[in-house]
Structure 1
Amino acid sequence: MPCLEICIPYASILIELPIRFAYFVFVIVFYTSLYVFRTWRRSAPFNYLVYVLTSISTPISTSLYLIHIDQSRWLHAYPLMIIIELIVLVFYTTQQRIKFSHAIGILVILLVYGLIVLLFYFLYVNGFFRMLSFYGVTFEAWYIIYDTHLMLCGVHGYNLQPDEHMYAAGNIHADLPKFLWIIIGHFVLGPVRGFIKALRHSRTNYIC
């Protein structure tokens, strides 16, 4: 929210495409370097340094996305919606009757987002369309669940200790390049690889 307060007065400059693209490239390179070279930042003071840097760069990225939608203080609803979604998820995990799966987490996030959008529809019609454009809060909250699960279950190979909470918090941002490449691999490169594989098989398969 403080980052939004700083960026809103300079919205006319920050919405320029070259600036947005240059910052996107910088963030991807920065996070990729953190993901590739991660051993050195597991201990103090480097874990605190990485946490501070990622905690600054990520809100700037979110602000650049938001000020393209609007340039008013309505944008503060975005971080507030994420906070509400995560608080609801935390309260949900306190019960043990219904297990907390990814599907359940996504349903809880969508339910909270839908109720907030519905509330704004009845209270302020113009605000409804602004809240509707904040669909990114559902994706961001789910990514936090997804990456936390991968770190705690050892899928990323971290084997985190209880005193490495600062390192884990920084990793939520540092793992973004891996998550991005997973999406690109499935939805972009996957069909291309399938098409190339089909072409290769067509050279050797005979027509009966």
Structure 2
Amino acid sequence: MSVGPSQLESAKHTSDREFQQQLTEEPIRKAFIRKVYSILCCQLLISGGCIAFFIFFEPAKKFAIKFQWLYIVVFSVLFVFLIVLSCFDSVRRKFPLNFILLGLFTLLQGFALGLVSARFKTDAVLIAVGVTAFVVLALTIFALQTKLDFTYLSGILFVLVIVLVAFGILCAILQSRYLTLVYSCLGALIFSVYLVVDTQLMLGGKHKYSVSPEEYIFAALNIYMDIFNLLLFILMLTSSFRD
């Protein structure tokens, strides 16, 4: 079948449009990535400060151990913040309300991390933080360099998280150290893959799914929650081995 001049001209115009679109989108995407990582760095610094306060300041550690009902209150409020920031795009896109809510959420999340860390030995917490930092850095570099598209796994990972929650309830009932070790390993593995997926969603480009450049709050929140959950599971793991 022969191709006419009009078809060749149409294909050329299509190719030119795609090239121009790529040139336009690339600087926008790079600015979006810089903004996401800037927000993420601020969140991690706040969380790190809260953890250090609770594990090195003895009165704060005793306070966290004494008032255990704070766990329920803090995590309940965090859940509300998470629903608002995740489900209502009109809120998370409205400046400066989005930054105010994200800042409050980060402070509460850091406080929650501090409460949890206070219940573990200081050396176990420091080891968990160091291991988490190494894993996050390695997985981020992997997500930036690999040609494999992990964004396809979003649906499967969501199902695995539901299974993980059910498994966690079982572990709480049975109180088995070996089940807890398996639960910690599975949780760390699932959220490690989640970190790669959310990083690639932020990168966009040739990946099938991507996050809009307008959703910098949502992208930062996703990656921060991946790191938060990864730290919790690694902390459980290191504490079990230390014990």
TM-score normalised by length of structure 2: 0.45
Matches within 5 A, 1:156-171: 160-162=211-213, 164-171=215-222
The structure richer in helix per residue is 2
Distance 2:110 2:149 in 1: 28
What residue is the counterpart of 1:7 in the other structure?
A: 54
Quick one: structure 1 residues 87 and 151, their matched pair in 2 at CA, closer, same or farther if it must change by over 3 Å? closer
Matches within 5 A, 1:93-172: 93-96=143-146, 99=148, 101=150, 138=189, 140-147=191-198, 160-162=211-213, 164-172=215-223
Checking the alignment, whether the CA contact within 8 Å between 1:42 and 1:164 is kept in structure 2 is: yes
Q: Does 1:88 align with 2:138?
A: yes
What residue is the counterpart of 2:90 in the other structure?
A: 39
Shift of 1:86: 1.6
Shift of 1:3: 0.7
* Offset from partner CA, 1:129-148 (integer Å, 9 cap, x none): xxxx9866555444434555
2:76 to 22, 25, 34: 25
Q: Percent sequence identity over matched residues?
A: 22
Q: How large is the RMSD of aligned CA atoms in angstroms?
A: 3.9
Distance 2:198 2:144 in 1: 20
Residue identity opposite 1:27 in structure 2? L
Distance 1:54 1:141 in 2: 22
What residue is the counterpart of 2:106 in the other structure?
A: 55
Checking the alignment, whether the CA contact within 8 Å between 2:139 and 2:195 is kept in structure 1 is: no
Q: Does 1:78 align with 2:125?
A: no
Checking the alignment, whether the CA contact within 8 Å between 1:144 and 1:172 is kept in structure 2 is: yes
Q: Any unmatched runs of 5+ in structure 2?
A: 1-47, 154-182, 227-243
Residue identity opposite 1:65 in structure 2? V
TM-score normalised by length of structure 1: 0.51
SS at match of 2:74: helix
Shift of 1:6: 1.7
Q: Any unmatched runs of 5+ in structure 1?
A: 105-132, 176-208
Shift of 1:161: 2.9
Residue identity opposite 2:79 in structure 1? I
Distance 2:140 2:68 in 1: 37
Distance 2:88 2:225 in 1: 10
Distance 1:13 1:54 in 2: 21
Distance 1:76 1:62 in 2: 13
What residue is the counterpart of 1:127 in the other structure?
A: none
Distance 2:101 2:94 in 1: 11
SS at match of 1:39: helix
Shift of 1:18: 1.2
Shift of 1:32: 2.1
Number of residue pairs matched by the alignment: 142
Distance 2:70 2:89 in 1: 28
Distance 2:72 2:109 in 1: 15
What residue is the counterpart of 1:178 in the other structure?
A: none
* Offset from partner CA, 1:141-187 (integer Å, 9 cap, x none): 4443455567778xxxx974335424421355689xxxxxxxxxxxx
What residue is the counterpart of 2:15 in the other structure?
A: none
Residue identity opposite 1:93 in structure 2? A
